[in-house]
Structure 1
Amino acid sequence: MTNLAEVSDRASPSCETFEPASLDSPLVFSSPHSGKIYPPAFLAASVLDLPTLRSSEDVAVDDLFSAVTLHGAPLLRANFPRAFLDVNREPYELDPKLFDQPPPDYANVRSLRVAGGLGTIARVVSEGRAIYGARIPLAEGLARIHAYYKPYHAALERLLNRTVEKFGIVCLIDCHSMPSRMPTGDARRPYEPVNADIVIGDRYGASCDPGFSHRVHALLSGMGYRVARNKPYAGGFITESYAARSRNRHALQIEINRALYLDEKTLELAAGYARLKADLTRLIAEIAPAAALTGGAGRQAAE
């Protein structure tokens, strides 16, 4: 697979669904931050170069989980980059500091994510670097939401509904990568290493059957990975919004430490990439069969 970003204004779908030959699994996989098609107009409006903009990208996460289609589950991937628009946010988490006009009344302008510059249309990328040199038109931000955000969530909703109709249950696996260092808020020691290889987020049991979360945790730990649960990532907007355990809809977020497979400065794939992909393929083979989910979550829902 290629790891290169693409600069293109060609007509391309905002997202793509990779389908299995046969729908045999109650799992649906989502990779919302691995998109790497950068519109030229966006690059022209930014004061950052392409490598810096890509620092917020979940590089190659879609490929790391690509074996899902061989095990009966679909994978939905965004084609646009996270720096351009973030679908793991409310549809209208809009930063007043970013736009040339006040956001509409229905926008959420006070969330913690907006305060950090990381709303639906981000103002900054990693380490707080400003994307734009000036405010951008509000109309442009709203147009992005219409053309990119809404199609992604419509596609995700269709996949989840289809799976529930067939199996009576679904679990969304939301796939991400995380920087190997986290900001501390301490000027004397601004960053510290993330003390985990993989973080599993189930909103502290609210978004996914704990038995299924524990199985994923145990399988990854058995492969030799340091696995954390819910800290520092418990699950974002997608995990929270699509989970409804009382209706047999579960969601689990998986965050992978980029140092396992990537040179975080050059964004080149590292030697560990092949092993990580092989291990994730083994994980998928274990959890994709319907019995892996219905044996725990489905039984509990029926009781």
Structure 2
Amino acid sequence: MQPVDVKRGDGPVVLGLPHTGTYVPQDIRTRLNERGRALADTDWNIHKLYDGLLEGATTVRATFHRYVIDANRDPSGESLYPGQNTTGLVPLTDFDGEPIWNEAPSGGEVEHRRETWHAPYHAALWEELDRVRHRHGVAVLYDCHSIRSRIPFLFEGTLPDFNIGTNGGTTCAPAITAAVEEVCRAAQGYTSVVDGRFKGGWTTRHYGRPEEGLHAIQMELAQSAYMSEAPPWPYLHERADALRPHLAAILQRIERLALGGALT
């Protein structure tokens, strides 16, 4: 199993998909407990939801599950949200705070997983961003995520449908944030927030360098907006079909900004 799947496009937008993969090597799977083997914290169906929304977009998708190693965490292991409940580079618990391992990995094993899975994913992502930037003078990483709408261990209450992350406006041009926020606010029947509980993971923060022509924005969707939030996590076509036009509008607005010179 290759750690990353890349589909190249000729446009300025790169879609990152770090959490849709479900591959777990057998030697790692046997060490997960029953709860861990359920893989409940997958960004279920996100690749299907975004498929075909923006012609010419490049996609970079991790094939491995986040329990192997989380492609959206700092490789140093530093927490993204100090002082808040979260999961680490190799999670020891699931999003409900429950243990997922019969035998947790050692520090040496974490480093091996980083080299085998995490590093190749980011090497591929960087290669595509650099290629796109050389072609267009600018590249925009749109990092695609989803999560259950109610997880008391991670946040209070119910999550908005659209959670836009820019790490306090530092990872992309204000025009991108404004355009995405405008589409989300105009989407009737949906709720949205900018830099709420999810401000952008390590990927967004690491690659978002607007002064270098590299822009990054994270979209964390509440899974209730397009699927069932219970096993076997089915994709609900009616809900998804209602959501997809808004996501397409977001991506098209970002692409127009990039091609129109507004980001250079």
Give me the TM-score of the superposition, normalised by structure 1: 0.78
Cα drift, residue 50 of structure 1: 6.1
Evaluate the alpha carbon distance shift between residue 286 and residue 191 of structure 1 in structure 2; reply closer, same or farther with a 3 A threshold. Answer: closer
Whether the 8 Å CA contact 2:3–2:121 is kept in 1: the answer is yes
Report what 1:138 is aligned to.
Answer: 107
Q: Report the 3-state secondary structure (helix = DSSP H, G, I; strand = E; otherwise coil) of the residue aligned with 1:119.
A: coil
Q: Report the 3-state secondary structure (helix = DSSP H, G, I; strand = E; otherwise coil) of the residue aligned with 1:121.
A: coil
Whether the 8 Å CA contact 1:29–1:75 is kept in 2: the answer is yes
In 2: Cα distance, 1:158 partner to 1:288 partner: 19
Given the alignment of the two structures, is residue 120 of structure 1 paired with residue 89 of structure 2, yes or no? Answer: yes
Report what 2:22 is aligned to.
Answer: 36
Report what 1:149 is aligned to.
Answer: 118
Query: Which amino acid in the other structure matches residue 178 of structure 1?
Result: I
Q: Report the 3-state secondary structure (helix = DSSP H, G, I; strand = E; otherwise coil) of the residue aligned with 1:173.
A: strand
> Which residue among 139, 163, 167 is the counterpart of 1:170?
139
> Which residue among 185, 206, 214 is the counterpart of 1:221?
185
Report what 1:74 is aligned to.
Answer: 58
Report what 2:33 is aligned to.
Answer: 47
Report what 1:199 is aligned to.
Answer: 163
Report what 1:5 is aligned to.
Answer: none
In 2: Cα distance, 1:121 partner to 1:140 partner: 10
Deviation string 1:54-101 (CA, Å, 9 cap, x unpaired) is 221100112222225x521201001011122101111131xxxxxxxx
Given the alignment of the two structures, is residue 238 of structure 1 paired with residue 209 of structure 2, yes or no? Answer: no
Cα drift, residue 116 of structure 1: 4.7
**Greater Cα shift, 71-80 or 139-148:** 139-148
Whether the 8 Å CA contact 2:36–2:100 is kept in 1: the answer is no
Query: Which amino acid in the other structure matches residue 255 of structure 1?
Result: E
Q: Which runs of 5+ in 1 are unaligned?
A: 1-11, 94-107, 299-303
Whether the 8 Å CA contact 2:179–2:250 is kept in 1: the answer is no
In 2: Cα distance, 1:30 partner to 1:123 partner: 24
Report what 1:277 is aligned to.
Answer: 244
In 2: Cα distance, 1:135 partner to 1:200 partner: 33
Q: Report the 3-state secondary structure (helix = DSSP H, G, I; strand = E; otherwise coil) of the residue aligned with 1:200.
A: strand
Report what 1:257 is aligned to.
Answer: 222
Q: Report the 3-state secondary structure (helix = DSSP H, G, I; strand = E; otherwise coil) of the residue aligned with 1:181.
A: coil
Q: Please say which structure displays the higher CA radius of gyration.
A: 1
Q: Which runs of 5+ in 2 are unaligned?
A: none
Query: Which amino acid in the other structure matches residue 198 of structure 1?
Result: F
Cα drift, residue 183 of structure 1: 2.3
Whether the 8 Å CA contact 1:113–1:119 is kept in 2: the answer is no
Report what 1:210 is aligned to.
Answer: 174
Deviation string 1:219-276 (CA, Å, 9 cap, x unpaired) is 2322323221110111111111111111111110101111111211111122412222
Report what 1:15 is aligned to.
Answer: 4
In 2: Cα distance, 1:232 partner to 1:135 partner: 28
Evaluate the alpha carbon distance shift between residue 184 and residue 130 of structure 1 in structure 2; reply closer, same or farther with a 3 A threshold. Answer: closer
Q: Report the 3-state secondary structure (helix = DSSP H, G, I; strand = E; otherwise coil) of the residue aligned with 1:71.
A: coil
In 2: Cα distance, 1:216 partner to 1:41 partner: 42
> Which residue among 98, 112, 129 is the counterpart of 1:129?
98
Q: CA-atom RMSD, angstroms? A: 2.4
Whether the 8 Å CA contact 2:146–2:220 is kept in 1: the answer is yes
In 2: Cα distance, 1:114 partner to 1:57 partner: 24
Q: Report the 3-state secondary structure (helix = DSSP H, G, I; strand = E; otherwise coil) of the residue aligned with 1:220.
A: helix
Report what 1:27 is aligned to.
Answer: 13
Evaluate the alpha carbon distance shift between residue 113 and residue 38 of structure 1 in structure 2; reply closer, same or farther with a 3 A threshold. Answer: farther
Whether the 8 Å CA contact 1:33–1:176 is kept in 2: the answer is yes
> Which residue among 191, 213, 216 is the counterpart of 1:248?
213
Aligned pair count reads 261
